[in-house]
Amino acid sequence: MPELPEVETVRTGLAPVMEGRTFVSVVLNRADIRFPFPDNFINRLEGVTLTRLTRRAKFLVAHLSSGETLLMHLGMSGRFSIDVGTLPQDSGATNPKHDHVIFKMSGPDAPTIIYNDPRRFGFMELLERGDIGRLHDLGPEPLSNAFSGPVLYEALCTKKAPIKSALLDQRVVAGLGNIYVCEALFGAHISPVRKSCDLGEAECEDLSAEIKRTLKLAIKAGGSSLKDFAGADGALGYFQHRFKVYDHAKQPCADKKCTGQIARIKQSGRSTFYCPVCQH
């Protein structure tokens, strides 16, 4: 499931073939993905220029010359690929029956941008000028100055939920999912089962720094993956990244000085991976 670093990588990959370009044609191969496409979706995009592509949490935010904003969310399995006529026709990496949206953009290379989503948890929305829609409910962006130790402490000090669950709450901090929450808690040596309100100010400082560090490292890995995407299937944002605890159950702790073994537990129905020896 794409989290903030994957979405940022998709944004970095799409920006050069979308920013400053006009939607020449838009094809929808079905009426809905997770939600129905907005009314007049095609008419509201064709002939319109995408001025800037930004990201907020796990959303791609396309600012349009019409004053509207196109919000795109990848859900569980959404992926974008770019075809400038160089993709292998039969890479077999994605099944074309799941190509739900096809954008043809202007420009000398006339890129085709394909949105493929087998599980259809992704969605696209058009917001009218001035409307921020569901972005309204999001907490601070973790890599911005709006997120810090004191901000995290303030958000956690009234919460009895385990810290793992609190960090998945998009109102506490936006853009984290299961993977990077496990990684950041490991890096900060904090147990995922701790009560949120029991974390002290110094621990919140460490944890916020670790969240930023973990995300930055992953974004860097994603950026390197873009360099050779043309040789692959053109899908953006799914890169090989080495995790320290995520999906490492029963393996020795990544900390060489620690004798622990990574445990896997269920929290709110989702797997948590952590080291019971060095995470307290």
Q: Which residues bind Zn ion (CB under 5 A)?
A: 253, 255, 258, 260, 275, 277-278
Query: 29 vs 259, which CB is nearer to Zn ion?
Result: 259
The catalytic position among 21, 58, 79, 194 is 58
In the annotation, is 164 catalytic?
Answer: no
Burial of 200 (0-12, 13-18, 19+ CB in 10 A): exposed
Contacts of residue 9, defined as CB under 8 A and 6 or more positions apart, other chains included, come to 219, 222, 223, 225, 226, 236, 237, 239
Distances in whole angstroms, Cα of residue 216 to Cα of each of 8, 143, 184, 210, 213: 10, 8, 11, 10, 5
Query: 209 vs 277, which CB is nearer to Zn ion?
Result: 277
In angstroms, give the least distance from the CB of 70 to Zn ion: 44
In the annotation, is 58 catalytic?
Answer: yes
The catalytic position among 104, 159, 264, 270 is 270
In the annotation, is 142 catalytic?
Answer: no
In the annotation, is 2 catalytic?
Answer: yes
Query: 205 vs 255, which CB is nearer to Zn ion?
Result: 255
In angstroms, give the least distance from the CB of 109 to Zn ion: 49
In angstroms, give the least distance from the CB of 263 to Zn ion: 10
The catalytic position among 2, 5, 140, 142 is 2
In angstroms, give the least distance from the CB of 110 to Zn ion: 52
Query: 153 vs 273, which CB is nearer to Zn ion?
Result: 273
Residues recognised as catalytic: 2-3, 58, 270
